[in-house]
Amino acid sequence: MKKIAVFTSGGDAPGMNACIRAVVRGALYHGVEVYGIRRGYSGMIEGGDTIFRMGSRDVSNIIQRGGTVLKSARSKAFMTVEGRKQAYENLVGAGIEGLVAIGGNGTFTGAEIFFNEYKIPTVGAPGTIDNDLYGTDYTIGYDTAVNTALDAIDKIRDTADSHDRVFFIEVMGRDSGYIAIQSGIAGGAEAVMVPESLTPVSEVVKVLKSGFAKKKNSSIVIVAEGEKEGRATEVAEKIQKQIGIDIDIRVTTLGHVQRGGAPTAYDRILASRLGLGAVEGLLRGQKNVMVGVVNNRLIYTPFHESITKEKPISDDMLRMVHILS
């Protein structure tokens, strides 16, 4: 294999640039030409100067930057047979023999379909703040997102305590509660609501009432955006109706702030390890797989498993929230 390309797709995540850097420098170390593809699958279809050769200097001074220097996009055209055919022709025209795809569930779904149709070897590096991919303990960007959420929770607790308020804080994660559970434990939340384990509104009411009985006048409830009882605003409204006492409730949705910012040291190291692992996996013949780290070991998991198998939250973490609240 003499030429490979790297691209980022779907939602951005802190640490993607560190991963791009590792792919480029890892490929060059092994004597392989490396190309970047701007705007993910959209750029692959567009072709031309969106597929460009990268050198070591192109990735200088990016390891600390959030977002992605290759840009990202969600491509409806790539979902069509015609779009994927055009993408394949552009890659062949550029002499690309292998791909490193940095992204999440949607990125790897597209990569698997593309491989099944055209057999271009592809290794994925998990880049998503949601931490919802099977085959890796942590995804690129997750640690930074948790720390960003925690910083906000700490600040909100100050104002909650000053005004004797109950704050419902909604964090991101799509259908995963990983950001919610870890930021909730680290932030000392009184309750955490995640989609993996149904927490009825009645249970949260019970927790809050127990706190009030102990003269606790302010509380924090973390709500994952995929929570089955609803988004934070809906949950707060339900609790206001059921609690039966007069409490001052506020809702804060953290939103896309969790996707931005400089990646933590952990995310930079993880991204570097996965980027190099993706390149070396390609050179060893790996294809149609995601590279991940499980129990501190680098492993390769078929795309189909990484996007379809469940990645449950530890029961111990859910139990911890209940005990420590």
- Hey, where are the domains in the chain? 3-141+263-308, 144-259
Catalytic residues, by residue number, are 130
User: Which pLDDT belongs to residue 297?
Assistant: 98
**What is the rounded CA–CA span in Å between residue 155 and residue 284?**
48
Instruction: Read off the pLDDT band of 218 (50, 70, 90).
Output: confident
306, 108 contact by CB (below 8 A): yes
Reading the block at residue 179, the tokens are 């950001």
**What is the rounded CA–CA span in Å between residue 3 and residue 224?**
41
**What is the rounded CA–CA span in Å between residue 121 and residue 129?**
25
124, 278 contact by CB (below 8 A): yes
253, 232 contact by CB (below 8 A): yes
User: Which pLDDT belongs to residue 323?
Assistant: 87
pLDDT digits 0-9 by tens, 263-287: 999 999 999 999 999 999 999 999 9
Reading the block at residue 135, the tokens are 């085959």
Model pTM? 0.95
Q: Which amino acid is it at 260? A: G
User: Which pLDDT belongs to residue 86?
Assistant: 98
pLDDT digits 0-9 by tens, 67-123: 999 999 889 999 999 999 999 999 999 999 999 999 999 999 999 999 999 999 999
**What is the rounded CA–CA span in Å between residue 48 and residue 221?**
50
Instruction: Read off the pLDDT band of 247 (50, 70, 90).
Output: confident
Average pLDDT over residues 133-144: 98
Instruction: Read off the pLDDT band of 143 (50, 70, 90).
Output: very high
Tokens 């308020």 correspond to 165
Q: Which helix (H) or strand (E) holds 138?
A: none
Q: Do the domains 144-259 and 3-141+263-308 match in fold?
A: yes
User: Which pLDDT belongs to residue 244?
Assistant: 79
Beta strand 297-302 with 289-294: parallel, antiparallel or unpaired?
A: antiparallel
Instruction: Read off the pLDDT band of 37 (50, 70, 90).
Output: very high
CA diameter of the chain: 71
Architecture of domain 3-141+263-308: 3-Layer(aba) Sandwich (3.40)
Is the CATH number 3.40.630.10 carried by domain 144-259? no
